[in-house]
């Protein structure tokens, strides 16, 4: 079967190195003529959420964004569709529903004055590097909202990431169409009663590390870590919207609603 037999044209394939995902990839290659990613109109990702994040970050760094259809052979598979074998995959793609995902862009200034930039599909988190409690000043749109947060750290999550680390830190689950971001403290000590905030996705959030030499802090965009930071600025990269494809009735927005009723 040709990769041209779908409304997305030519298809590329990437997969995790697990035995199950590798076997599935071979099965798919027997039925579909895949092309390299730079020649493709859409991509099939086989694995788990980590594999999907890797694929999305590769596209962000490569400057070419393809619609992505994930097939879950990992653990959670929140960003994926159910794997049902190679048969019928083209028909599933034809019926798939698109979902736009906008990443966060963080700009980091380190204690030595270096500047780094990275994107996050799920969240940007600040984490203490040592046993010393982190102390962070939090500003929104250049207005200081928390002069000093003391705790293990702080994170800013997209709706996609709101069911990941954010949820583990007792942050809110955000519907995908909400246009909001979740600002969630990680094991906060002070202010004792502050449990975070929900912000419009037009917001610019700035974290400044207090006492950085004594209390070093790392910034992590999904899985890219930058250590010994002094300041982090974060905003949504609206111009870098990406597209995930889901089977009808299995879209991520429905999963986010369903997650709020899980027990």
Report the alpha-carbon distance of residue 195 to residue 207 in Å, rounded. 17
Q: Is 50 annotated as a binding residue?
A: yes
Q: Is 166 annotated as contributing to ligand binding?
A: yes
Has 65 been labeled as part of a binding site?
no
Residues 6 or more apart whose CB falls under 8 angstroms from that of 219 comprise 106, 108, 124, 125, 126, 207, 225, 226, 229, 232
Q: Is 225 annotated as a binding residue?
A: no
| Antiparallel, parallel or unpaired: β 205-209 and 42-47 | unpaired
127 is in an annotated binding site: no
C-alpha dihedral, 28 to 32 to 37 to 38, nearest 10°: 170
Give the side-chain half-sphere CA count within 13 A for 232: 33
3-class state of residue 5 by DSSP: coil
Which residue is catalytic, options 23, 33, 38, 49?
Answer: 49
Asked if 49 is an active-site residue, the reply is yes
- 47 known member of a binding site: no
CA atoms within 13 A of residue 62's CA, in its CB half-sphere: 13
Q: Is 112 annotated as a binding residue?
A: no
Task: Rounding to the nearest 10 degrees, give the CA dihedral for residues 81, 85, 90, 95.
Answer: -40
Q: Is 4 annotated as a binding residue?
A: no
Q: Decide: 107 and 115 in contact? Cβ < 8 Å.
A: yes
Total residues found in the chain within this entry: 263
Binding site annotation covers 33? Answer: no
220 annotated ligand binder: no
What ranges make up the beta strands (E) of the chain?
11-15, 42-47, 68-72, 81-82, 97-101, 104-110, 115-120, 123-128, 134-140, 143-157, 180-190, 197-200, 205-209, 217-221, 224-226, 229-236, 242-246
Going by the annotation, the residues of the binding site are 49-50, 122-123, 152, 160, 163-168
Going by the annotation, the residues of the binding site for NAD(+) are 49-50, 122-123, 152, 160, 163-168
Active-site residues, by number, are: 49
């Amino acid at each position: 079967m040709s990769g041209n037999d779908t409304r997305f044209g030519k298809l590329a394939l990437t997969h995790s190195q697990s035995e199950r995902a590798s076997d599935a990839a071979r099965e798919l290659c027997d039925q579909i003529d895949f092309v390299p990613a730079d020649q493709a109109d859409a991509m099939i990702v086989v694995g788990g959420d980590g594999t999907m994040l890797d694929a999305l970050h590769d596209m962000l760094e490569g400057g070419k964004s393809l619609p992505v259809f994930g097939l879950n052979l990992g653990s959670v598979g929140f960003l994926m569709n159910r794997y049902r074998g190679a048969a019928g995959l083209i028909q599933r793609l034809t019926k798939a529903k698109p979902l736009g995902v906008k990443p966060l862009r963080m700009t980091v200034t380190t204690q030595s004055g270096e500047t780094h930039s990275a994107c996050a599909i799920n969240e940007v988190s600040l984490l203490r590097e040592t046993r010393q409690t982190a102390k962070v000043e939090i500003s929104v749109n250049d207005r200081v909202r928390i002069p000093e947060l003391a705790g293990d750290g702080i994170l800013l999550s997209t709706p996609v990431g709101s069911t990941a680390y954010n949820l583990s830190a007792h942050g809110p689950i955000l519907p995908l169409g909400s246009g909001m971001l979740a600002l969630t403290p990680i094991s906060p000590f002070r202010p004792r009663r502050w449990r975070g905030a929900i912000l419009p996705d037009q917001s610019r959030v700035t974290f400044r590390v207090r006492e950085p030499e004594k209390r070093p802090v790392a910034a992590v965009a999904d899985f890219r870590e930058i250590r010994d930071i002094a300041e982090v600025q974060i905003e949504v990269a609206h111009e870098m919207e990406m597209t995930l494809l889901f089977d009808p009735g299995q879209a991520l927005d429905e999963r986010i609603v369903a997650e709020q009723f899980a027990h």
